[in-house]
């Protein structure tokens, strides 16, 4: 038999490392269930061998973990933030209830059953009704000051009416599935590592040092508890807390249940399991709490958790299925991402036919091969994952998946990025890469070129009509008529759409260029800090990094992109085609109407008032409703009345629509 002392020491070290990865790095290596199993194993050994005490550092079974980071200031909670004992077994849940019944033999026990939100615990301090600080759980006693990243979370009140003088409100910061998918999709397109689930992404976001970057990701919050409260005696039950939080207009739990015994509590948990898919927040279990505070106090606490509450966690849904093939997908920067194509299988209420494989290293680590029977999991994460291979079912003739060889077999010429686990197509002549780059350029979030979908792009590249983004602007109607399904009308529409795209905002162009690591928000940050594309192109790495929201990796990437001679010539050609290179701010400052005031009067023949106002503002001018000596122009249409007369009297320039259009170009 293994030496229990050694096993205890090994498990303690192992769990401590998993705690660090989960709480401090927000990048756990194992899922919750595997982690909870390790912890249960350790707790059992410790209980059977009480002589191996905790020494200097407490065992991870006796503490709540620690999320504190060097870069943050720490604050002490007025009341400690504890953890919860958890179980995956309904029998253990019932035992929890039976223990409490023994303690309170003559009393009726009412439980509150709440969803357990899979997010990041936070404690909000309100003083005289105003939010003064948000603190992470930390080690339960003191946590990190994350106020600047928490303020402004949607729905979180800055002020509350009729609150006690001092109030700690507790809850969970989380990320909605949709936002999680949006960010991961953007990261996949950049060839960056994906976040495994919304909880990790929320945890990573809340600890970003740059509040602007944090703001570019949408976090949400839900509150369910109270820490300190002065004056006290505000609440006598858990359900009163729920009501009061709602009254104070905090975002609260979508549903909770009162149960008169532990068996009914279990029924509520079963109901929760059927409802939770429709909740806004990721729900990984239920928390069952004694409702009455007097009973809570009497039940008391262990060093890390209350004895009056327990978390029941739902098993992640897993299923075995056949991995038919590993398909390699190419993103806009040429990054190659492996995807498992699966024999469709039912998981967590959806049919799963694809799963992420992250990158070459992940495939190697798990030795995943086409033809394998794999265990697929869909838990808090929306993207299904391949957990492991069932080796007993591996075909005899199975071969390891060699990433590089598969690329070769597909005729894809890619190289592995020395700084990341990602393979990238390096050649700019590669038609697939060209196609992805053009699709991205034309997409909504970039140049928004209508009628230029992937089918059209594919034809343009295959026929050699277009290689780079600049080539799009040389297309003629006659050329387009050669394409499948193109008639005169569709050709004209595409030419018009291309023409219109020349006036897009600068950030749309920056985003569309497909510079590695530069997404929509970074493109906006760049536009906000530079006057033109040329200014960005000639900026030093230091200047780029000085921009709020641009980190060193991005700065390096932008600088390298503009230093490339092919990219330089692309930029010159785009300029020659007349694309807008100026930031909105600079365009206004340079505009013909910069500093000028224009008064609109009468009905214009073609422009609406809104359109005219937008054009005036784009040219740097402002509009005013009355004519005075300070008016520079009057834009007059049909039936212009007294304003027209007044302008004539004051000798102010009067323009009709044509003259106005000529003026603003
Ligand atoms: S009550 C002393 N209620 O789960 C009791 N916790 O695994 C403290 N959690 O630290 C917590 N949903 O961050 C409570 N409805 C809920 C919860 C909840 C999620 C988190 C919380 C806690 C952790 C324990």
117: Cβ below 6 Å to ligand 1?
yes
Lowest mean pLDDT across 208-217, 451-460, 561-570? 208-217
The model's pLDDT over 262-304, given as tens digits with 9 standing for 90+, comes to: 999 999 999 999 899 889 888 999 999 999 999 999 999 988 8
Helix, strand, coil content of the chain in percent (nearest 5): 40, 20, 40
Nearest CA to ligand 1 atom 7: 84
The mean pLDDT value for 365-373 works out to 95
Nearest CA to ligand 1 atom 23: 83
Q: Where are the domains of the chain?
A: 4-61, 74-185+194-313, 318-420, 431-501, 506-586, 589-664
Find where tokens 């190289």 sit.
415
80: Cβ below 6 Å to ligand 1?
no
Per CATH, which fold does 4-61 belong to? Helix Hairpins (1.10.287)
172: Cβ below 6 Å to ligand 1?
yes
167 against 617, higher pLDDT: 167
pLDDT-derived band at 382, boundaries 50, 70, 90: low
112: Cβ below 6 Å to ligand 1?
no
Residue 379 pLDDT: 62
Mutate which of 198, 287, 307 to test ligand 1's pocket (most atoms within 8 Å of Cβ)?
Answer: 287
The mean pLDDT value for 597-626 works out to 88
484 pLDDT higher than 80:
yes
Q: Up-side HSE of residue 326: CA atoms within 13 Å toward CB?
A: 30
Tell me the CA–centroid distance for residue 84 and ligand 1, in Å.
7
Asked whether residue 477 is marked as a ligand-binding residue, the answer is no
Closest CA to 124 of 161, 101, 153, 162: 153
Tell me the CA–centroid distance for residue 522 and ligand 1, in Å.
35
CATH of 74-185+194-313 among 3.20.20.70, 3.30.470.30, 3.30.70.100, 3.40.50.720: 3.30.470.30
**Residue 329, H or E segment:** strand 317-330
When the pLDDT of each residue in the chain is averaged and rounded to a whole number, the result is 90
Residue 579 pLDDT: 97
317 pLDDT higher than 60:
yes
Catalytic site residue from 39, 79, 102, 116 = 116
Tokens linked to 538 = 């000639």
- Angle at the Cα of 288 (from 284 to 294), degrees rounded to 5? 150
Asked whether the domain spanning 506-586 has the same topology as the one spanning 431-501, the reply is yes
Residue 335 pLDDT: 87
224: Cβ below 6 Å to ligand 1?
yes
Superfamily the domain 506-586 falls into:
5' to 3' exonuclease, C-terminal subdomain (1.10.150.20)
408 is catalytic: no
pTM of the predicted structure, to 2 decimals: 0.63
Asked whether residue 360 is marked as a ligand-binding residue, the answer is no
Cis peptide bond prior to 380, omega within 30° of 0: no
220 pLDDT higher than 90:
yes
- DSSP states of 462-484: HTTS-SSTGGGGG--HHHHHTST
39: Cβ below 6 Å to ligand 1?
no
Contact 597, 631 (CB under 8 A): yes
CATH class of this structure's domain 431-501:
mainly alpha
CATH architecture entry for 318-420: Beta Barrel (2.40)
Residue 256 pLDDT: 97
Per CATH, which fold does 589-664 belong to? Rossmann fold (3.40.50)
Mutate which of 61, 172, 245, 309 to test ligand 1's pocket (most atoms within 8 Å of Cβ)?
Answer: 172
From the CA of 115, give the closest atom in ligand 1. 15
The mean pLDDT value for 40-44 works out to 91
Cα–Cα distance measured from residue 458 to residue 356, given in angstroms and rounded to the nearest whole number: 26
233 pLDDT higher than 90:
no
Give CA torsion, residues 488, 489, 490, 494, to 10 deg. Answer: 100
Tokens linked to 98 = 């039976």
pLDDT-derived band at 171, boundaries 50, 70, 90: very high
Nearest CA to ligand 1 atom 13: 121
Tell me the CA–centroid distance for residue 105 and ligand 1, in Å.
27
Tell me the CA–centroid distance for residue 168 and ligand 1, in Å.
15
408 pLDDT higher than 70:
yes
């Amino acid at each position: 038999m293994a030496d229990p002392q050694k096993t205890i020491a090994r498990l303690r070290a192992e769990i401590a490392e998993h705690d660090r990865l989960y709480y401090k790095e927000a990048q756990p290596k194992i899922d919750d269930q595997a982690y909870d199993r390790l912890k249960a194993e350790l707790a059992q050994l410790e209980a059977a061998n009480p002589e191996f005490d905790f020494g200097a550092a407490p065992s991870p079974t006796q503490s709540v973990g620690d999320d504190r980071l060097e870069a943050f200031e720490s604050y002490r909670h007025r009341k400690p933030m504890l953890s919860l004992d958890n179980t995956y077994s309904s029998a253990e849940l019932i035992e929890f209830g039976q223990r409490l019944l023994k303690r309170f033999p003559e009393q009726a026990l009412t439980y509150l059953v709440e969803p357990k939100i899979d997010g990041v615990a936070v404690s909000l301090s309100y003083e005289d009704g105003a939010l003064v600080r948000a603190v992470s759980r930390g080690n339960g006693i003191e946590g990190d000051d994350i106020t600047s990243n928490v303020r402004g979370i949607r729905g979180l009140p800055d002020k509350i009416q009729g609150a006690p003088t001092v109030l700690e409100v507790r809850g969970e910061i989380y990320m909605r599935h949709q936002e999680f998918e949006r960010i991961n999709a953007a990261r996949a397109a950049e060839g960056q590592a994906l976040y495994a689930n919304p909880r990790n992404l929320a945890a990573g976001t809340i600890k970003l040092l740059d509040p602007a970057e944090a703001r570019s990701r949408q976090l949400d919050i839900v509150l369910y508890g109270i820490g300190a409260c002065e004056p006290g005696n505000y609440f006598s039950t858990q359900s009163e807390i729920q009501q009061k939080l709602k009254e104070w207009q905090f975002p609260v739990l979508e549903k909770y249940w009162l149960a008169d015994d532990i068996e009914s509590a279990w029924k509520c948990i079963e109901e929760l399991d059927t409802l939770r898919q429709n909740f806004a927040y990721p729900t990984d279990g239920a928390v069952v709490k004694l409702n009455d505070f007097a009973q809570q106090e009497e039940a008391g606490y262990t060093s890390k958790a209350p004895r009056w509450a327990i978390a029941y966690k739902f098993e992640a849904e897993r299923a075995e299925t056949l991995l038919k093939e590993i398909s390699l997908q190419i993103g806009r920067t040429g990054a190659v991402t492996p995807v498992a194509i699966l024999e469709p299988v039912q998981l967590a209420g959806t049919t799963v036919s694809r799963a992420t494989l992250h990158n070459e290293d992940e495939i190697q680590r798990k030795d995943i091969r086409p033809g394998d029977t794999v265990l697929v999991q869909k838990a808090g994460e929306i993207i299904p994952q391949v957990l492991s291979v069932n080796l007993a079912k591996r075909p005899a003739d199975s071969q390891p998946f060699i990433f590089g060889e598969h690329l070769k077999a597909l005729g894809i010429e890619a190289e592995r990025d020395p700084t990341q686990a990602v393979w990238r197509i390096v050649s700019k002549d590669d038609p697939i890469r060209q196609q992805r780059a053009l699709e991205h350029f034309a997409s909504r979030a970039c140049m928004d070129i209508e009628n230029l979908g992937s089918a059209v792009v594919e034809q343009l590249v295959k026929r050699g009509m277009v290689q780079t983004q600049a080539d799009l602007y040389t297309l003629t109607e006659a050329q387009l008529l050669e394409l499948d399904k193109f008639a005169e009308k569709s050709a004209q529409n595409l030419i018009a759409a291309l023409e219109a795209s020349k006036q897009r905002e600068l950030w749309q162009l920056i985003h569309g260029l497909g510079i590695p690591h530069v997404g929509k928000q970074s493109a906006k940050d760049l536009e906000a800090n530079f006057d033109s594309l040329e200014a960005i192109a000639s900026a030093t790495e230091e200047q780029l990094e000085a921009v709020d929201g641009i980190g060193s990796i991005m700065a390096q990437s932008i600088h390298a992109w503009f230093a490339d001679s092919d990219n330089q010539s692309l930029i010159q050609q785009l300029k020659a085609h007349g694309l807008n290179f100026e930031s909105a701010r600079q365009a206004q400052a340079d505009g013909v109407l910069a500093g000028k005031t224009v008064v609109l009067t009468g009905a214009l023949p073609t422009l609406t008032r809104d359109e005219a106002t937008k054009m005036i503002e784009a040219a740097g001018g402002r509009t005013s409703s009355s004519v005075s000596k300070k008016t520079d122009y009057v834009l007059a249409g049909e039936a212009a009345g007294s304003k027209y007369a007044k302008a004539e009297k004051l000798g102010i320039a009067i323009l009709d629509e044509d003259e106005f259009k000529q003026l603003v170009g």
